[in-house]
Chains A and B, each alone.
Chain A
Amino acid sequence: MRTTVVLVAIVLLWIAGSAAQQPPARPDNQPGRKWTEQQLRENSGHVRAGRSLNPKVWPNGARVAVAVTFNVNNSANQLARGDTAVVAMTGGEFGAAQGLARVLELLDSHQLPATFFVAPVAASVDPQMLPEITKRKGHEIGVLGWSDEDVVALNDAAEEGRLLKQAVAYVTKAAGRPPVGARGPSGAISLHTMPLLKANGILYDSTLQARDQPYEVLLEGQPSGIVELPVSAYINDYRFLTSARTGPGLLPSPELVFEQFRDEFDVAYEEGTLMVLTLHPHVVGMRSRIIYLDRLIRYMKGKPGVWFATGEEITRYVKQQAGS
């Protein structure tokens, strides 16, 4: 009896051993190649670009619309990750302690409206920020998640919904009115995001990148009514000029970076569309960068027919022009 048990055990172990000698079955990391046409269409069709909402003409006969936008996240993502690193935390704090004031002063000097997408956690850590923005009339506050969380990694519709609702409530209280614009925190949006934005009264998103022009978002192939004011990885200070907390960035020359922003503007101007510039107070608010933002604004203001507007103003205008 005992012999049998031991023999069975040995046989089982032998099988286990020989199985271990087979190459381990690796997860297939290229599943798409086996999908049918139907599956390819469904899987790539959850959130797509619908009709262009670029108007025939911008307000007052302007040729181009420019939205200067800031992501006010400071250390919110670090906090979301539970990272207690002290020095890194000060890299984000720079946004509140120096960067934002510098940015607001520059906007004042040019009398330019801007849109601030704010992570409420960053706002609650430095509560002086939002009053500084709202006391100047003309700027818009939108939401940037709750704590600049990565909603794709989160992959939890209920939790994402809870965080968004909390963020909308925070901004509503702080700004005195509900936000109408959202940008995906950490540059990501999940497959749950768009329906959640609709349910929370958000009129426009500014995260996707399928066009240069404003467009309507399609959800599962159907027009959603959500306006997309597309951003571009090429008109964002972050990856090129990342703050000290994550290293010097991919192209740590503000001169080389801002010349690309100017080229983007030139083509947008020529084509009569939209430019959404994405900046961060803790990145562009540094002394060696803010001077280039000043020069870019001067350059754009030097052209006739440039409409500087908030995301909300642009959204309301293109919606009204498109009759929706």
Chain B
Amino acid sequence: MRTPVVVAALLSSLSAGLALAQAPAQPGLKWSDEQIQKTAHHVRAGRKLTPKVWPNGARVAVCISIDPDNFTIPLNAGNVNPVPISLGEYGALEGLPRMLKLLDKHSIPASFYIPAVAAMLHPGMIEEIRKRPRHEVAIHGWIHENPMTLDDPVDEWRMISQSLDLLEKQWGRRPVGNRNPSWTMSTHTIGLLKKAGLLYDSSLQAMDEPHEVLLDGQPTGLVELPVNWIIDDSPMYGPAGDFPSPRMIANVFRDDFDEAYRAGSMFMVTMHPHITGQRSRIRQLDELIVYMKSKPGVWFATAEEIAKYVKQQAGLPGTASQPE
């Protein structure tokens, strides 16, 4: 009599475990309309901030953005094996110097999104960037962590604050911009970026144009300078990229620029020193810059300069023209 009870209890606890192991993969199909709307509208694109005209009558704004991640991704994952460490270190030892030299040759600015641990372990990077005041340094996670899978606002805030402090110490200025590692965000991120008082983010992908970020339907004042995986060297012509031919992909980048130029908006390209800084890839960046410079009315700027300009033109709160 009692044995069946025990067996039943055993079975029910087993089935609870099984149900967990096989959680339904498409829970959204059972959500109410309210849940769907709330989730979809948590972080959305607000109004467009492309100005009527760019500084000095330019037609397009171009930001060369560079993410010196080095070996932070394997290190964060606990992978300390020599080959992945060496692959990342290439960025600091060869890639970044080569890219800085190229930017010097063309006298154009760039924005550098640096994981704080990468800056800690190779302090020479920001030292070199600092010698060139036209460049910007901004945050890119503490150790290129993935805040989405962590889903821990306390830990995330710790890492954002530590990153801002470390980069401020090395760069001499407190960064005003953010790019989330691997372009992943938790549902806490935008709120935390606001709390940190940042001017802009550069991780979202809802538009080609600069726009304001809405958080739960409310304007945040945070400027978004959107990115896209198809104008990023890593998924395209990194060694395991989808189409690792720098020449073919450079055509895609140039077409993207042409369309930005025609539309008068913004072109934000993302590159990594351990990829584009390679000998077989640096030429593509050189040729892209030469091409863009050949057109009249191209404003090469840091993301910070672009964000400040569009914010002020749009009269968003917190800008010089309209104090909060």
Contacts and interface: CB of A to CB of B under 8 A. Distances in A.
A43 B75 contact: yes
Contacts, number: 168
B145 interface: yes
Contact of A44 (B77, B80, B248, B279): B80
Identify which of A40, A235, A253 gathers the most chain B CB atoms within 10 Å of its CB: A40
A80 interface: no
B6 A6 contact: yes
Given A13-B9, A30-B150, A33-B155, A208 B83 contact: yes
Interface in B47-87: 71-72, 75-78, 80-83, 85-87
Contacts of B279: 212, 232, 234, 263-264, 266-268
A256 interface: yes
A31 interface: yes
A250 interface: yes
B77 A256 contact: no
Interface stretch (B206-214, B235-243, B264-272): B235-243
Identify which of A211, A259, A260 gathers the most chain B CB atoms within 10 Å of its CB: A260
Interface string A174-207: 0000000000100111110110000000000001
Identify which of B86, B143, B282 gathers the most chain A CB atoms within 10 Å of its CB: B86
B245 A235 contact: no
Contact of B6 (A9, A37, A266): A9
10 contacts: A6-B2, A21-B16, A23-B20, A191-B80, A230-B86, A233-B239, A234-B239, A239-B244, A256-B248, A260-B245
Interface of B: 2, 5-6, 9-10, 12-14, 16-17, 20-21, 71-72, 75-78, 80-83, 85-87, 89-90, 93-94, 117, 120-121, 142-143, 145-146, 149-150, 155, 159, 239-248, 278-283
Interface string A206-249: 01111110000000000000000010111100011000000000
Interface residues of A, number: 62
Contacts of B245: 251, 253, 256-257, 259-260
Contacts of A3: 2
A78 to B, nearest CB: 21
Given A49-B86, A239-B239, A256-B245, A263 B80 contact: no
A32 interface: yes
Contacts of A230: 86
Nearest to A29: B77
Nearest to B246: A260
A233 B87 contact: yes
A210 B92 CA distance: 9
B82 A37 contact: no
Identify which of A33, A188, A209, A263 gathers the most chain B CB atoms within 10 Å of its CB: A33
A314 B224 CA distance: 51
Contacts of B81: 152, 188-191
Nearest to A233: B239
A33 B12 contact: no
Contact of B120 (A37, A233, A266): A37
Given A9-B6, A251-B243, A263-B280, A32 B120 contact: no
B78 to A, nearest CB: 5
Contact of A16 (B13, B75, B159): B13
Given A10-B6, A234-B239, A261-B280, A210 B20 contact: no
Contacts of B71: 44
Contacts of A20: 13-14, 16-17, 20
Contacts of B89: 48-49, 210
B278 A234 contact: yes
A42 B21 CA distance: 37
B280 A17 contact: no
Contacts of A17: 9, 12-13, 16
